Amino acid sequence: MTAPTAVFPARTVLRLQRGALTVWAVLFTAAAGPLLWAYGPGGTAAAADWARKCTAHGCDWSSPVSAYHLAYATAEFLIGVTPYFAAATAAVLIGRELDHGTVRLAWTQSVSPTRWLAATLTVPAALITAGTTVLVLLHRLLYDAHQVPVSWHWWDDRAFEANGTLALIHPLLGLALGALAALLQRRALPALGLAVTATALVRTALDVARPHLWPTVTRVSTVRTGYDAPPNVLHVEQGAVTATGAHVSDTCFTDTKCLKAVDITGYYVDYHPAAHFWPLQLVESGIVAALTALVLAAAFTLLRRRTS
């Protein structure tokens, strides 16, 4: 690295990361293309076929309908892959420079270690965030105009994440985890494995915790009515209600004698309605943002200690 490139770290980062940025451009195009197609001609063809072939007794999934669903499912999968791509990018780029020792040359030419790490992360973070923002807007556009009313629900993990701020914040956490993994391992491949694994563990834990991040709505029904949750809701928990109003596990099911013996008078269902989408989305995004800040703080602290 020469002195002029030290003055323009962003330009240097763009040159060093051109391979990763090319992959991101391909990933972005592969996700945006199906969303645009499904919103336009794909959605029109699927809606026409659905209206023509479906009756009150059911509907067969024709080729246009299947292609429509495949298009948005593919886009959601690629949006979901983006955090792993971000983690791998940071881990490989930073780990490679630490492994080869080339970064020490930059540190001797007026680019401090802190500034180097900040520039290395800022450029891909800005580009990935910009691209992901476009994908989220396209996804919401298609979701709001959904023309085939089956198999797409707001609480599905992929749809939930692709429809809001989580799609923007998860890649930033991936970048932070990739940077910390690289600084810990100092080699590209071990750092890549650690970063991707950590990203997967965090996302899995959040998926499990999601239904419990916001107070649920409870609906109680009688024994005769049975479980009575409204449509289009995220089910969290259900069970039986005793004469004292206590909520217990439903061990009787439809056994009348058992219901009387245990003194079951009804059933309850805890759920999240569609109105809880944004509260759940924003609370989880706040948790991910806090984790990102903690991981970045750990990465910069580790870098300063090793280069002081």
Among 9-13, 43-47, 51-55, 290-294, the range of highest mean pLDDT: 290-294
pLDDT in the model for residue 104: 72
Average pLDDT, the chain: 88
Section 174-181 average pLDDT: 96
**Residue 262: band (very low, low, confident or very high) from pLDDT cuts 50, 70, 90:** confident
Can you give the pLDDT at residue 191? 95
**C-alpha span between 248 and 264 (Å, rounded):** 9
Residue that wins the pLDDT comparison between 209 and 62: 209
- Structure token digits, residue 222: 């009688």
How far is the C-alpha of 88 from the C-alpha of 300, rounded, in Å?
18
Task: Supply the pLDDT for residue 100.
Answer: 76
Q: Residue 157 has which token pair?
A: 């993990």
Give the Cα separation of 92 and 189 in Å (integer). 7
pLDDT for 115 equals 84
For the segment 137-165, the average pLDDT, to the nearest whole number, is 92
Q: How many angstroms separate the first and last alpha carbons of the chain?
A: 21
Tell me the pLDDT band of 4, cut-offs 50, 70 and 90.
very low
pLDDT at site 255: 75
| pLDDT value of residue 5 | 40
Tokens of 92: 């490989």
Q: What is the mean pLDDT of residues 191-206?
A: 96
**What is the structure's pLDDT at 54?**
73
Which residues is 221 bridged to in the sheet?
267
Q: At a CB cut-off of 8 Å and minimum separation 6, what does 29 contact?
A: none
- Tens digits of per-residue pLDDT, 200-244? 999 999 999 999 999 999 999 888 888 888 989 999 999 989 888
Confidence of residue 114 (pLDDT cuts 50, 70, 90): confident
Compute the distance between CA of residue 201 and CA of residue 190 in angstroms, rounded to an integer. Answer: 17
- 44 confidence band (pLDDT: 50, 70, 90): very high
Q: Where are the domains of the chain?
A: 3-212+276-307, 217-275
Q: Which residue has the higher pLDDT, 84 or 107?
A: 84
Residue 110 banded pLDDT, cuts 50, 70, 90: low
Q: What is the mean pLDDT of residues 141-152?
A: 87
Q: Does residue 289 contact residue 169 with C-beta atoms inside 8 Å?
A: yes
Contacts of 32 (CB under 8 A, 6+ apart): 75, 134, 135, 138
* Model pLDDT, residue 1: 38
pLDDT of residue 3: 38
